[in-house]
Amino acid sequence: MTYNGFKLRALFVKPHAAEHRFFYGVNFEFSVNTAHWDTSRITSEVRPIIGWHLHPVDIILNPILDTSYNGVKNLDFAPAVRIAYNLSSVWAVAAEEYDDFGPLHQFSASPQQFHQVFGVVNHNTRFLDVEAGAGSA
């Protein structure tokens, strides 16, 4: 077993977001990383959440900013997108894309950027939410 560090998260979303067509929020994350996981010991992310429940489709955008506390000019733009089809109130299938374009002040060259797509299945119960997926870079 490998220890990668720990994260503290605080999530703020529009109250009763599931009941609204348009919803929004923000997630703040503070991480302490081990060296084999991330060369930066302390990192954080600000993850805005912008979404639409279009029944049965959900679209969620996350224009994420990451930081290693090495200056505002080095904020890293790592957006994510999720498009889900809700088969029922407890089952969904989705496509998720995760990107990392590099620093805001000058995006990395294409070969140094990160792009990954996943096919995902979600099952939500009263006590447990399960998400499984497969993807490629």
pLDDT digits (tens, 9 = 90+) for 80-130: 999 999 999 999 999 999 999 999 999 999 999 999 999 999 999 999 999
Q: What is the pLDDT of residue 112?
A: 95
Dump pLDDT digits (tens) for 8-47. 999 999 999 989 999 999 999 999 999 888 889 999 999 9
Q: How many domains does the chain have?
A: 1
Domain that holds residue 127: 5-136
DSSP string, the chain: ----EEEEEEEEE-TTGGGSSEEEEEEEEEEEE-TTT-SSSEEEEEEEEEEEE-SSEEEEEE--EEE-SS-GGG-EE--EEEEEEESSSSEEEEEEEEEE-EETTSPPPGGG-EEEEEEEEEEE-SS-EEEEEEEE-
Global pTM? 0.88
User: pLDDT at position 132, please?
Assistant: 95
Report the pLDDT value the prediction gives residue 119, as an integer from 0 to 100.
98
